[in-house]
Amino acid sequence: MDRTNICKNIIQSIKDYIMDPVKLEPHRAEKHFVRKRKLTLLHVIIYLLYSSKASMFQNLSRIRDDLSALSFPDVSKQALSKARQFINPSLFKELYYLSVDLFYKQIPSRKLWNGYHLFAVDGSRIELPNSQSTFDFFGEMSSFPDPDRRYTMALASIIYDVLDDYIVHASIHKFLSSERAAALEHLKVLEDMGIHTDSIIIFDRGYYSEDMFRYCVEHGYFCVLRLKECLNLSKKCSGDTISVLPGSKKEGTSDLSIRVIEVVLDDGSREYLATNLFDPAITKDMFKELYFQRWPVELKYKELKSRFAMEEFSGATATSIIQEFYINMLLSNLVSLIKNDADEEIDITSKSSNKFRYQANRAFIIGRIKIIFPKILCDLSKLSVIEKLSGAVHSSFPVDHFQEKN
């Protein structure tokens, strides 16, 4: 099954979910959306999936024009802002998880690097609107040199399927939360999904600890962790070194072998990587390439913050923040499915015609999917429009739909 069809199946499953009162029941606040009111639960869900980062007035005008069949009521901005607080963010988390579950169940084959699946773990600080709600939930900080200036931020954390361009698990936490704890949560999800075998998890500097390394080994993960230069493991490394992490009877742990590799970068500086990967097919020289396979996760955050405007929240409460966070994760995965199908077709076409190699313009796809997705949910467009979008992206090479590969 190609990715476009998987995208269609995901959207259909989301539509079935939000149209099922039984499935929606756990996600609404008690005593809300129970009587016939002008503004229904479905109205608010579609609004949140459809709205852009424009003003609420502009979003309401657009939704009434573009989604006329929804019969969106004439309500005030205050009423809509209040109504969204009665939808548990768990709904949008569930819809996002649906996109992940269906992808890994339906994808016929996954991309490999030398026989391994590659996942990258990374965290990022997210700027939040200041409100009492965000202060209470995410934590309140003061700035230097003005201690009276209060602000708040969140920690976003994802585990990203590097080769298949998919956010497998995402979470949002208080600003001062542990990135390692978030990473362990991601790893447990991979185990629950049964997609952790023959996988290499790539971690940036700051994630290494003996506990993290032991967890990966004991749970069947191969891992590559960038080390800080100040660690003894780094200091003792001379090119490619195998050391032993001593076990502890008190803690019930045994000795573990750990391989530390010195990587010389193009500018002459050195980085040190810790791994439990002893596969002779993966040579020392290949570890530099392997580590830099994590770079797409950095680009994913850049895309989420720029193209999806992830930090431009339309609400200022913790509930609103978490709702929009998971909506962005879901939309990112839908866009990925269409883009990767289009890229494969473009590669075939460009190679056969001996032209420059191109990639589908992700910004174009993002803009279209944000409009098409809610229309399908409201029966204003058919699922076949997803095929048309994918076909339009790779059927010809218009400048605004394509960008040349670097």
pLDDT band at 392 (very low <50, low <70, confident <90, very high): low
pLDDT band at 240 (very low <50, low <70, confident <90, very high): confident
Q: Specify whether 252 is located in the same domain as 137.
A: yes
Q: Specify whether 179 is located in the same domain as 242.
A: yes
Whether residue 281 is contained in a domain is answered as yes
Whether residue 210 is contained in a domain is answered as yes
Name 208's Cβ contacts closer than 8 Å, sequence gap at least 6. 225, 226, 227, 228, 231, 274
Residue 54 has pLDDT above 90, yes or no: no
Whether residue 40 is contained in a domain is answered as yes
**What pLDDT does residue 129 have?**
94
Q: Specify whether 272 is located in the same domain as 136.
A: yes
Q: What is the C-alpha separation between 227 and 29, in angstroms, rounded?
A: 46
pLDDT digits (tens, 9 = 90+) for 328-362: 999 999 999 999 888 877 665 555 554 444 566 78
Q: State the CB neighbour count (10 A cutoff) for residue 340.
A: 20
Whether residue 164 is contained in a domain is answered as yes
Whether 319 contacts 85, CB under 8 Å = yes
Report CA dihedral (201, 206, 207, 209) to the nearest 10 degrees. 130
Residue 235 has pLDDT above 60, yes or no: yes
pLDDT band at 402 (very low <50, low <70, confident <90, very high): very low
Q: State the CB neighbour count (10 A cutoff) for residue 84.
A: 20
Q: State the CB neighbour count (10 A cutoff) for residue 142.
A: 10
pTM: 0.91
Please give the residue that has the higher pLDDT: either 152 or 54.
Answer: 152
Q: At which of 283, 303, 323 does a domain end?
A: 303
Q: Domain count of the chain?
A: 2
Among candidates 102, 91, 97, 164, which has minimal Cα distance to 329? 97
CATH number of the structural domain spanning residue 236: 3.90.350.10
Q: At which of 279, 303, 327 does a domain end?
A: 303
Q: Specify whether 60 is located in the same domain as 146.
A: no
Whether residue 378 is contained in a domain is answered as yes
Whether residue 97 is contained in a domain is answered as no
Domain encompassing residue 129? 110-303
Q: Specify whether 83 is located in the same domain as 117.
A: no
Q: What is the C-alpha separation between 374 and 56, in angstroms, rounded?
A: 17
Residue 277 has pLDDT above 90, yes or no: yes
Using alpha carbons, list the distances in angstroms from residue 334 to 86, 193, 296, 386.
Answer: 26, 20, 17, 10
Whether residue 75 is contained in a domain is answered as yes
Whether residue 318 is contained in a domain is answered as yes
